[in-house]
């Protein structure tokens, strides 16, 4: 328009003096074609919107040309030159100033021409203005255009956690049923035998580039990535080295994932176990997704396990809401906590409930991370006579993280419900001393945490930093007990409880992790009665013994003397766990534990020499079981609320079992002082327990009538009947013991009492070693 030419010409000098503005990105006008909106997978060079801005049409790339932050709708982003800096006059754009005479050149005398004009002052002022502008704008430039924060990654659909059903998986072909599409789940484990009915992945029946594994999300989903593994097998090596991805809304028309104008080919695996994540060039909205292998290990065949990342979207064609997992009513911190975040959460709970909580450390890991314990009791830090002590231990294997998060949530829950006056929680806290160890292997957890929930694999972080499996690192007391039983030495010459730790295990150069030593010291300091060791990777509860009695057998039913009590304890947790009790759930891997009520004798599953369960039962009074909480060892953070709902009632109900059986105090009949280390024997059960420092004890028993005997060195034994009712209330069964009266010669009373059994065994062992040395020295 001619009327605009004169103002434009007048503004040219001012525009030339202003600094150039950075390039701007304007939104396309309405009706313009947005990148990626016409087909599946837009060009990589197109402007992609953050995940979550996708539409709900056919399989489309979820990208949109949205203005960057700080940009007005339809306009350009604000430029630093658009606003005058501080100290700049408002007479024109940028840093333009009114016309002024030129300053004198360098070398001009003050008394010369123009000396009265404040030229030097104007020069200094102008220089300062420029410097102020530069110095002030440079640090503020990043604040004007901050880097866009990364959007949260879409969670997995749930192939590993079994949220995706077998009916949602389909394949072009398979070798046999055991290698069908339903086995193509991330981290699924195979059986022990070649050709097992339940094998470790999906394997195509043909070797060509037309094979595929299909996942039906059952609703429109914003797919963002794919994770693959090879076949889990001890007999063959099979994995896919590259693959393509396709999408569809009806399974008839398939659109390939494109990287620009070319069909994208994603790199696969280099070994069978390491998960490999490939993010799509741009998110794609569809219902079905296919993984189409292109190349595979040259000495193997087409086999893979997979997980798909995607965010479910609302269905515009369905007015009804899709059923979802129950939302917990407890407002807890449902996320994964690393070491620092775990410490902060425990401190926060301690600050909220200082009267019932105490945080203490039982030792340090190999890398120096403290092993923190949360104590919850009405008198934290004190052992009350008659009050049993309970413990939960989690994180023995660092990559099995669900137990860690459940215990952290349990701390929050007990604190808040106690403050609200929940009668069940108030009674539990006031009548029980609870100890929660959320991370027994903090070094291993940090290793798995850095990789993330889907990329840590099946074993990364399982062991300690030294490479020790803590569940095989406790002293083997089973062998010594069984050898003594075979020689009829139990219980007269060899104890059936409090079995001493072998001498070789206590040496400084023994292969014992510092985490194991810390837990053993912890067990010896507190009179624990009941415990549970929280693991992951299966849905089952195991009970001792964990080690087979026949050493060369991998599986063998090996019950304890308290087999009935252990079976009850395992049943309590399994039947109250929502995931285990569900009749619709499928097998995690290859074992069907539902036939036995989701409980099993540990040794009858697989032998575990040196387990913490067996050591706790044989070396202390504590009865301990193992709970396998989930098929997925490292569930995604989005699944933690549902897992809390599955386990909340189980965690509370199992703690209440510490009051099942009999309890009492063994006192001196004359002084009425408690007798420490008095032995409590139950007729018909070849396993005894001992009293604590104050003479109090707790003996877990099933309902019934029992003959109970209390004995101590220097005292006469006492026996009395005790009845255990069906309701969960302990029966009081206390004893008064009388000292031995001197008999026979007058000097008989001055004889010292016999030494303690561990001291006698050590003396006998030393005598044998001396005899062997003399024999070797006397040899030729």
By DSSP bridging, strand 599-601 and strand 540-543 are parallel
Instruction: Report whether 338 contacts 446 (CB < 8 A).
Output: yes
Rg of the chain (C-alpha set)? 36
Interhelix angle for 612-619 vs 478-486, to 10°? 60
Instruction: Respond yes or no: is residue 628 known to be catalytic.
Output: yes
Distance CA 768, CA 774 (A): 10
CB atoms under 10 Å from CB of 725, counted, come to 11
Look at residues 702, 712, 680, 758 and name the one whose alpha carbon lies nearest to residue 524: 758
Task: Look up tokens 């901050």; give the residue.
Answer: 146
Distance CA 484, CA 495 (A): 9
CB atoms under 10 Å from CB of 612, counted, come to 25
Instruction: Report whether 564 contacts 657 (CB < 8 A).
Output: no
Instruction: Report whether 342 contacts 372 (CB < 8 A).
Output: yes
By DSSP bridging, strand 731-732 and strand 662-668 are parallel
Non-local CB neighbours of 324 within 8 Å, separated by 6+ positions: none
Task: Look up tokens 């507190």; give the residue.
Answer: 526
What is the token pair recorded at 726? 């069906």
304 DSSP β-pair partners: 202
- The secondary structure of 234-249 as a DSSP string is SS----EEEEEEEEES
What sign does the dihedral 696-701-705-710 (CA atoms) show?
A: negative
CA 267, 336, 282, 73: dihedral to nearest 10 degrees? -160
Distance CA 723, CA 733 (A): 9
279 DSSP β-pair partners: 225
Instruction: Report whether 478 contacts 485 (CB < 8 A).
Output: no
Instruction: Report residue 47 CA to chain centroid gap.
Output: 37
Neighbour-count burial for 40-52, b at 16+ CB within 10 Å, e otherwise: bbbbeebbbbbbe
Look at residues 595, 597, 592 and name the one whose alpha carbon lies nearest to residue 570: 597
Distance CA 227, CA 276 (A): 5
| DSSP at 739 | B
What is the token pair recorded at 233? 């097998």
Distance CA 561, CA 614 (A): 12
What is the token pair recorded at 337? 């906590």
Distance between start and end Cα atoms, the chain:
121
CA 375, 380, 382, 385: dihedral to nearest 10 degrees? -90
Environment class of 137 (CB within 10 Å of its CB; exposed 0-12, middle 13-18, buried 19+): middle
What three-state secondary structure class fits 763? helix
User: Of these residues, 538, 628, 639, 643, which one is catalytic?
Assistant: 628
What is the token pair recorded at 386? 């008659």
Instruction: Report whether 184 contacts 202 (CB < 8 A).
Output: yes
How far apart, in Å, are the Cα atoms of 590 and each of 213, 593, 628, 762?
A: 21, 9, 15, 46
Look at residues 366, 325, 319, 370 and name the one whose alpha carbon lies nearest to residue 347: 370
CA 173, 177, 178, 182: dihedral to nearest 10 degrees? 70
By DSSP bridging, strand 169-171 and strand 262-263 are unpaired
**Residues with a known catalytic role:** 628
């Amino acid at each position: 328009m001619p009327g605009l030419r004169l103002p434009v010409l007048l503004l040219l000098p001012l525009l030339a003096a202003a600094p150039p503005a950075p390039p701007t990105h304007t939104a396309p006008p309405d009706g313009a074609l947005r990148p990626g909106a016409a087909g599946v997978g837009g060009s990589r060079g197109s402007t992609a919107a953050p995940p979550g801005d996708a539409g709900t049409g056919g399989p489309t790339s979820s990208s949109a040309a949205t203005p960057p932050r700080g940009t007005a709708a339809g306009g350009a982003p604000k430029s630093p030159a658009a606003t005058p800096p501080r100290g700049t006059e408002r007479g024109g754009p940028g840093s333009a100033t009114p016309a002024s005479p030129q300053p004198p050149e360098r070398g001009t005398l003050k008394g010369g021409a123009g000396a009265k004009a404040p030229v030097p002052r104007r020069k200094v002022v102008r220089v300062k203005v420029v410097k102020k502008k530069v110095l002030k704008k440079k640090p503020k430039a990043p604040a004007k255009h901050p880097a866009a924060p990364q959007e949260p990654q879409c969670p997995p659909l749930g192939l590993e956690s079994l949220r995706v059903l077998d009916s949602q998986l389909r394949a072009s072909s398979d070798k046999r049923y055991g290698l069908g599409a339903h086995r193509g789940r991330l981290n699924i484990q195979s059986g022990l035998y070649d050709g097992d009915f339940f094998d470790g992945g999906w394997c195509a029946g043909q070797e060509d580039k037309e094979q595929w594994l299909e996942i039906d999300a059952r609703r429109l989903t914003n797919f963002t990535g794919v994770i693959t593994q090879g076949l889990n097998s001890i007999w063959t090596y099979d994995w896919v080295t590259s693959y393509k991805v396709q999408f569809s809304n009806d399974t008839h028309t398939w659109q390939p994932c494109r990287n620009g104008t070319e069909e994208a080919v994603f790199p696969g695996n280099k070994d069978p176990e390491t998960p490999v994540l490939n993010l799509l060039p741009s998110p794609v909205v569809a219902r079905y997704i296919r993984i189409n292998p292109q190349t595979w290990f040259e000495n193997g065949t087409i086999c893979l396990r997979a997980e798909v990342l995607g965010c479910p979207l609302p269905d515009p064609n369905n007015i009804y809401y899709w059923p979802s997992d129950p939302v917990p009513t407890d407002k807890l911190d449902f996320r994964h906590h690393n070491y620092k975040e775990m410490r902060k959460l425990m401190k926060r709970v301690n600050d909220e409930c200082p009267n019932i909580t105490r945080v203490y450390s039982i030792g340090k890991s190999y890398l120096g991370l403290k092993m923190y314990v949360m104590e919850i009791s009405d008198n934290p830090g004190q052992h009350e006579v008659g009050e049993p002590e309970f413990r939960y231990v989690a994180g023995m294997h660092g990559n099995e993280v669900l137990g860690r998060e459940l215990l952290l949530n349990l701390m929050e829950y007990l604190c808040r419900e106690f403050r609200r006056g929940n009668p069940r929680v108030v009674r539990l806290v006031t009548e029980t001393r609870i100890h929660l160890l959320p991370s027994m292997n903090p070094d291993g957890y940090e290793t798995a945490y850095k990789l993330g929930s889907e990329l840590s694999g099946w074993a990364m972080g399982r062991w300690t930093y030294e490479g020790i499996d803590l569940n095989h690192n406790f002293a083997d007391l089973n062998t010594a007990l069984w050898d003594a039983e075979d020689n009829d030495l139990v219980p007269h010459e060899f104890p059936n409880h409090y079995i001493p730790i072998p001498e070789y295990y206590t040496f400084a150069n023994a292969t014992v992790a510092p985490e194991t030593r810390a837990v053993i010291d912890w067990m010896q300091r507190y009179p624990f009665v009941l415990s549970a060791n929280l693991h992951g990777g299966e849905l089952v509860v195991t009970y001792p013994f964990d080690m087979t009695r026949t050493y060369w057998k991998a599986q063998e039913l090996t019950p304890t003397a308290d087999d009935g009590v252990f079976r009850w304890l395992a049943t309590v947790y399994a039947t109250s766990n929502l995931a285990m009790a569900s009749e619709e759930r499928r097998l995690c891997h290859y074992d069907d534990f539902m036939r036995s009520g989701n409980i099993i004798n540990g040794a009858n599953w697989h032998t575990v020499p040196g387990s913490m369960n067996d050591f706790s039962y044989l070396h202390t009074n504590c009865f301990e079981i193992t709970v396998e909480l989930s098929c997925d060892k490292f569930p995604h953070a989005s699944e933690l609320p549902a897992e809390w709902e599955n386990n909340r009632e189980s965690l509370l109900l199992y703690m209440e079992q510490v009051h099942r059986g009999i309890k009492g105090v063994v006192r001196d009949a004359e002084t009425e002082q408690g007798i420490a280390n008095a032995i409590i024997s139950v007729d018909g059960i070849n396993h005894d327990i001992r009293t604590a420092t104050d003479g109090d004890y707790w003996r877990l028993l099933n309902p019934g009538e029992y003959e109970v005997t209390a004995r101590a060195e220097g005292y006469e034994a006492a026996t009395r009947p005790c009845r255990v009712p069906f309701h969960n209330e302990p029966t009081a069964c206390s004893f008064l013991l009388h000292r031995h009266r001197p008999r026979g010669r007058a000097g008989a009373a001055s004889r010292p009492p016999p030494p303690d059994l561990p001291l006698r065994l050590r003396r006998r062992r030393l005598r044998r070693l001396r005899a062997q040395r003399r024999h070797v020295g006397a040899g030729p």
